């Protein structure tokens, strides 16, 4: 039985990856911060099938001890401070979690399981910043936020350890991906929840920042499958993962509000306070390498993904009303 350790197991990606690995017969272990122990809704249905270890990525000794004792075949590092806006407000903490903790993890693997543990690092398209789209593994990287910069630092460290010590390390440069389990601090879920609540008469309006920013959005279960594929290859490498199609926030609003037969322009306004100090304007993936080497491709369209998210929010909001 293959043994996997997932950091960030309670997050959107972590829960979808857990389901995938369990379906493949893995023994799944998850690292959870104690103060996040109650935030387990995404894996509530899996709690009897996984083994939870309480700890913190910033506790170097605890992390090293876990890797030493567990000796996992695969590690998926999905834990991060992933809120781009928050990274401007808390740049030091963002760097500690997204960069320093990764370096400590790499060092622990090097010390205790350098040739037996495969490591997946969750990189991000935010590392590209405003480089010319479409972006792939060879594109210039000019991060426009502390979040993107912290992830780029970890990306480079992973490459250094892979080349210097012969470790099996892959960076998954994932473009934006969403699902029904996406947190409410992300714009896609803000939009789908607002569309559902406004349709049900529970909310009057929605305020957003930059409506012209364009992103390459895909469905999270497709993307965690790409993570798994990377660690099944004979050689480690880095892969850009995305749909190859980019849409603006305005198009996201049209899709979500259109599904519930509402005109988003009647309900959405721009609040400059939600705009980032330095925004990324246009991200679009060139995933030709992943399609050729991994045999990966997206299976759920943007429209279908947004439909599922809006429907899910409609169900949740109706349930909350009935409880009240």
266 and 222 inside one domain? no
Clarify whether residues 135 and 259 are in a common domain. Answer: no
Per-residue pLDDT of 122-143, as tens digits, reads 999 999 999 999 999 999 999 9
| Number of domains making up the chain | 2
Q: Is 157 a catalytic residue?
A: no
pLDDT exceeds cutoff 80 at 39 = no
Separation of alpha carbons 198 and 216, rounded Å: 26
101-112 and 146-165 are packed helices; what angle lies between their axes, rounded to 10 degrees? Answer: 20
Q: Which of 218, 227, 179 is closest to 76 using CA atoms?
A: 227
Helix (H) or strand (E) holding 22: helix 12-23
| Residue in the block written with tokens 């250094």 | 160
Catalytic residue among 99, 120, 147, 223: 147
Predicted confidence (pLDDT) at residue 161 exceeds the cutoff of 70: yes
Q: Which residue out of 94, 117, 124, 243 is catalytically annotated?
A: 124
Q: Are 137 and 239 in contact (CB under 8 A)?
A: yes
120 and 195 share one domain: no
- pLDDT for 277 equals 81
**Selected catalytic residue, list 7, 76, 117, 126:** 126
**Boundaries of domain holding 96:** 3-177+217-241
Share of the chain above pLDDT 70, in %: 98
Distance CA 320, CA 7 (A): 31
Residue 40's pLDDT is 66
Strand-pair partners of 223: none
Q: How far is CA 130 from CA 47, 214, 217, 279, 280, in A?
A: 41, 11, 17, 8, 6
Q: Are the C-beta atoms of 247 and 285 separated by less than 8 Å?
A: no
* DSSP secondary structure letter of residue 133: S
| Same-domain pairing of 65 and 196 | no
- The per-residue DSSP string of 145-185 comes to SHHHHHHHHHHHHHHHHHHHH---EEEEEE--EE-TT--TT
**199/127 same-domain check:** no
Average pLDDT, rounded, for the chain:
95
pLDDT band at 236, cuts 50/70/90? Answer: very high
pLDDT at position 61 is: 86
| The total number of residues written for the chain in this structure | 324
Instruction: Note whether 139 and 212 are same-domain residues.
Output: no
Rounded CA gap, 134 and 191, in Å? Answer: 25
H-only helix segments in 38-138: 60-70, 84-89, 91-95, 101-112
Confidence check: pLDDT of 66 > 80: yes
- For 240-294, how does the pLDDT look when each residue is reduced to its tens digit (9 = 90+)? 999 999 999 999 999 999 999 999 999 999 998 888 888 899 999 999 999 999 9
Ramachandran assignment for 297, one of left (phi > 0), alpha (psi -120 to 50 degrees), beta (any other): beta
**Domain of 313: which CATH number?**
3.90.25.10
Does residue 257 fall inside a structural domain?
Answer: yes
Cα→Cα distances 61→64, 101, 225, Å = 5, 11, 31
Is there a contact between 272 and 207 (Cβ–Cβ < 8 Å)?
no
Is a pLDDT exceeding 70 seen at residue 36? no
254 is catalytic: no
**Four-residue CA torsion sign, 131, 136, 140, 143:** positive
Lowest mean pLDDT among 9-13, 243-247, 275-279, 306-310: 275-279
Question: Residue 58 sits in a domain of what CATH number?
Answer: 3.40.50.720
Q: Stretch 80-99: mean pLDDT, rounded?
A: 96
Question: Do 111 and 228 fall into the same domain?
Answer: yes
147 flagged as catalytic: yes
Whether pLDDT at 38 is above 70: no
Q: What is the pTM of this model?
A: 0.96
What pLDDT does residue 201 have?
97
Phi/psi of residue 54, each to 5°?
A: -90, 130
Mean pLDDT of 223-245: 98
Same domain assignment for residues 208 and 222: no
Residue 324 has a pLDDT of 64
């Amino acid at each position: 039985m293959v043994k996997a350790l997932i950091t960030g197991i309670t997050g959107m990606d972590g829960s979808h990856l857990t389901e995938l690995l369990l379906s493949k017969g893995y023994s799944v272990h998850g690292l959870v911060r104690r103060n996040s122990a109650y935030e387990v809704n995404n894996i509530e249905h899996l709690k009897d099938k996984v083994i939870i270890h309480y700890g913190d990525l910033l506790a170097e000794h605890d992390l090293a001890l876990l890797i030493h004792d567990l000796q996992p075949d695969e590690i998926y590092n999905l834990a991060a401070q992933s809120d781009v806006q928050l990274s401007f407000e808390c740049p030091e903490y963002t760097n500690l979690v997204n960069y320093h903790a990764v370096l400590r993890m790499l060092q622990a693997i090097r010390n205790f399981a350098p040739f037996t543990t495969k490591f997946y690092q969750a990189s991000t398209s935010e590392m590209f910043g405003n480089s010319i789209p479409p972006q792939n593994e060879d594109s210039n990287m000019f991060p426009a936020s502390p979040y993107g910069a912290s992830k780029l630092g970890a990306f480079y460290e992973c490459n250094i350890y892979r080349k210097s010590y012969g470790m099996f390390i892959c960076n998954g440069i994932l473009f934006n991906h969403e699902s029904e389990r996406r947190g409410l601090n992300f714009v896609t879920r803000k939009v789908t929840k607002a569309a559902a609540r406004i349709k049900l008469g529970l909310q009057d309006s929605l305020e957003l920042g930059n409506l012209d920013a364009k992103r390459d959005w895909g469905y999270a279960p497709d993307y965690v499958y790409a993570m798994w594929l990377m660690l099944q290859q004979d050689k480690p490498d880095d892969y850009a993962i995305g749909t190859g199609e980019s849409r603006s926030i305005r198009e996201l609003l049209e899709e979500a509000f259109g599904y519930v037969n509402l005109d988003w322009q009647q309900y959405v306004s721009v609040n400059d306070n939600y705009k980032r100090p330095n925004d990324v304007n246009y991200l679009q993936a060139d995933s030709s390498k992943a399609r050729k080497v991994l045999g990966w491709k997206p299976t759920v369209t943007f429209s279908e993904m947004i439909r599922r998210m809006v429907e899910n929010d409609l169900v949740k909001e109706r349930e909350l009303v009935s409880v009240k």
